[in-house]
A and B are shown apart, each in its own frame.
Chain A
Amino acid sequence: MITNKAYMAFGLLLAGLVVLGLAGDRFLLYISMRIMILAIFALGFDILFGRTGLLSFGHGAFYAGGAYGVALCYMHLAKDPLLCLLAGVLLATGLALVIGFFCVRHTEIYFAMLTLAFGMMVFSLIWNLREITGGDDGLVGVGRQAINLGLFKIPLRKESEFYFLVLAFFTGAIWVAHRIRTSPFGLILAGIRENDRRTEFAGVNIRNYRLAAFVISGAMAGLAGGLGVLLESNATPHISHWSHSSDPVLVGLIGGLNTLAGPLVGSLVFVGLKELVMRFTTYWMLFFGVVLLIILLGFRGGVVGTLVQRLAGRREVRS
C-alpha cells in the first residue's frame, strides 16, 4: 500500500518536474537545477549518514573531485559532457576509495574528524596547486557542448535543455538510492548503524560495507559536483571546504535521515528558503539560523520524519 503510494508520489514529482522543465522561466529552471544537484549530493550522502550512521564532514572533497574532474577533462581531454561527467565521477570515486580506506577505521566523532581532516587536505591542495586548479580563481569557462549521438545531437547550451540532463541524473540518483535501500546490501548497512557488533557476529565484514557506502556516497557527490560545474561553468576551491561539506549534513537533518524523501525535501527547503529569505533581507543568516532552530526543536527527526509520524499517528487514532 504505502510503497504504491510512494511510487505514485515520485511519479507525480517527476511529472511535475517535466512540466516545470517545459514551462518554467529561466530563473525557476536554474533554481530547480540547483535543488536537484544538491539533492543528488544529499541522496548519496544519506546512504552513508542516514543509512550507515557515519557523519562525514569531508564530502565537499568528492564534490570538488567531480567538479574539477569535469573542468580538467573539458580543458585538456574531451569536451563531450557525458565523457567529462564520467571523468569527474571516476576522479571522485577514486578519491573516495583512498580517503574512505582510512576513514572507515573509525566511527562517530572520530570518523567525522578524520573526514574533516582529509577534506581540508583536499581543499588545501586545490588552493595551492595553482598550475592545475587555477588557485582561488578556480577553473572558468567550462561550456556545455551538445551530446553527440552519431545520428543526431542533443544540445545542452540553454537552461531549458540542460535541465533535462540534470533531471535524468536526478531520477537515476533516486532510483539508485531506492535500489540500495531495498537491497540486502542496504539492509546490512542499516544493521551496521543499529548494532555493528551484532552485524559483525553475523559474519559481515563491516569495514568493507562501510567503505562501500563511503565510495557510493563519494561517487554521487562527484556526480553532483560535475553537474554543478556544467551548470555554473566554473569550479572554485570553496566547494571542497568544510563549510560546503556541511551542506548535505544540514539537508539531511532538515529533511530527515534514512528516508528517500528526506534529501529531496531537505534540498528544496535549503535552497528555496535561502533564496526567499535573501529577497527580504541581507541578514539572511539570522533568519536561516532561526528556521534551523524551529526545524530542530519543532520537527525532530526532520521535516519528512515528522510528517510521516504525524500522518501515521492520525491513522492509528482513526483505526
Chain B
Amino acid sequence: MLQSIVHVCLAGLSQGMFIWLVASGLTLIFGVLGVLNFAHGSFYMLGAYFCFMVLRALGENFWWGLLLGPVCVAAVGYLVERFFLRRVYGLELPYQLLLTFAFVLLFDDLVKIFWGAASIGTPPAPGLADSIMILGRRFPSYNLFVIAVGPLLALGLWGLLEKTWAGRIIRASSSDREMASALGVKVPTLFTAVFVFGTWLGALGGGLAVPYLGLLTPGMGEQIIIEAFVVAVIGGLGSLKGAFLGALVIGLLSAFGTRFLPTFDMFLTFILMAGVLLWRPQGFFGEAR
C-alpha cells in the first residue's frame, strides 16, 4: 500500500509539474498583458517539434534540442506579438481571444505541413533514460528530473520578479499599467519582452514533453491548454504562486482519482474549478481585484 501511495504521489507530482511548466507562461502573460493566450498550447506544441528538429540535426541529443528549440519558438512568439497581438491590445478581451485562436488553427496546419501529419516517436533523454527503484517499483529518472525542474523554475521566476529590477517593472506594470507608463516604463517593449518570455516558457514545457511523452502529434497543444487554463484559474488568474499550487493540486487529484476512484473523471477537476471561481475567484493566492 505504501509503495502504491508513494508511486501515485510521484505520478501526480510529475504530471502536476508538467502542467505547471505550461501554465506558468500562460499566467505570466495574462498577469502582465491581460491577454488569455489560447495559442499558448500551440507554442507548447511548437516547442516540442522545434526541440525534435534540433535534436535530429545535432546527433539525436535531446539536451541540445531543449536548449535551442524553445529559443526558436520564442522568436516565433516575437513575430506574433510584434505584428499581430500588438494591434489588438486596444480591443476587448474577445478580440484578443479570437486572434490567438486563429493562431491555434494556423500552427496546427503548419506543423502538419512541415513535419507531416503522422505521429513521431522520439528518443529518451541521454543520461536520464533509465528508471530507478523506489520502494521496489521502478520510476523513470526523467520524471524525477521534471519534478525537480518545476520548483527550480518557480524559484527562478520568483527571484526574477521579486529580486531584480526587471521584475519590479513587470510587477509594477502588471498592477497599474498607466502608472508604470507615467513613470517612464516603455510598456510596448515590456509587453513584447514578457510575451516572448512567456512563449519561451510554454515552448520549454513542450521541449521537456519530448522524452516525457515519447511522441509528437499535431494538435498535441490543444489537450494541454485546457488543463493549463484550469490550473491558472484555480491558482487565481495572473498569480504564479497560485498556478504552481494549482498545478500540484490538479496533478495529485488526477493521479489519486485515477488510482482510487474508478469513476474518476475530468468532471471532478471542473467542479473544483467552478468551486474555486465561486468561492474564491481570486484563487488560492490571487489578490482581490
Do A and B touch, yes or no (CB under 8 Å, in the complex)?
A: yes
B36 lies within 8 A of chain A by Cβ: yes
Tell whether B271 is near chain A: CB-to-CB under 8 Å.
yes
Across-interface contacts of A288 in B (CB, < 8 A) = 105
Q: Which residues of B contact A286 (CB under 8 A)?
A: 105-106, 109-110, 113
Flag if A117 contacts B274 (CB, 8 Å): yes
B88 at the interface (CB under 8 A from A): yes
The reply to whether B95 and A102 contact each other, CB–CB distance below 8 Å, is no
User: For residue B273, which residue of chain A has the nearest CB?
Assistant: A117
Bound CA span A125–B99, Å: 31
> Which positions in B face A, CB cutoff 8 Å?
36, 84, 87-88, 91, 93-95, 97-99, 101-106, 108-110, 112-113, 222, 226, 229-230, 233, 237, 263, 265-267, 270-271, 273-274, 277-278, 281
Q: A253-B95, A253-B98, A296-B88 are in contact. Are A102 and B265 (CB under 8 A)?
A: no
Contact of A116 among B84, B109, B229 (CB under 8 A): B229
Interface presence of A175 (CB below 8 A): no
Main SS class of interface, A: helix
Q: A292-B105, A296-B99 are in contact. Are A121 and B93 (CB under 8 A)?
A: no
Complex: A285 Cα to B273 Cα, angstroms: 30
- Beta-carbon contact of A124 and B267 below 8 Å: yes
Interface set of A (CB-CB < 8 Å, partner B): 49, 55, 102, 105-106, 108-110, 112-114, 116-118, 120-121, 124-125, 128, 242-243, 246, 249-250, 252-253, 257, 283, 285-286, 288-290, 292-293, 296-297, 300
In the complex, A296 Cα to B83 Cα: how many Å?
13
B273 near A289 (CB under 8 angstroms)?
A: no
Using Cβ atoms and an 8 Å threshold, which residues of chain B touch A289? 102-106, 109
Contacts A292-B99, A297-B87 given; 8 further ones with Cβ under 8 A?
A102-B274, A117-B233, A124-B267, A128-B263, A249-B97, A289-B104, A293-B84, A300-B91
Can you list 14 pairs linking A and B with CB atoms under 8 Å apart?
A110-B281, A113-B277, A114-B278, A117-B271, A125-B267, A243-B222, A285-B109, A289-B102, A293-B99, A293-B106, A296-B88, A297-B84, A297-B88, A300-B95
Shortest B102–chain A CB gap in Å is 4
Please state if B93 and A285 are interface contacts (CB–CB under 8 Å).
no
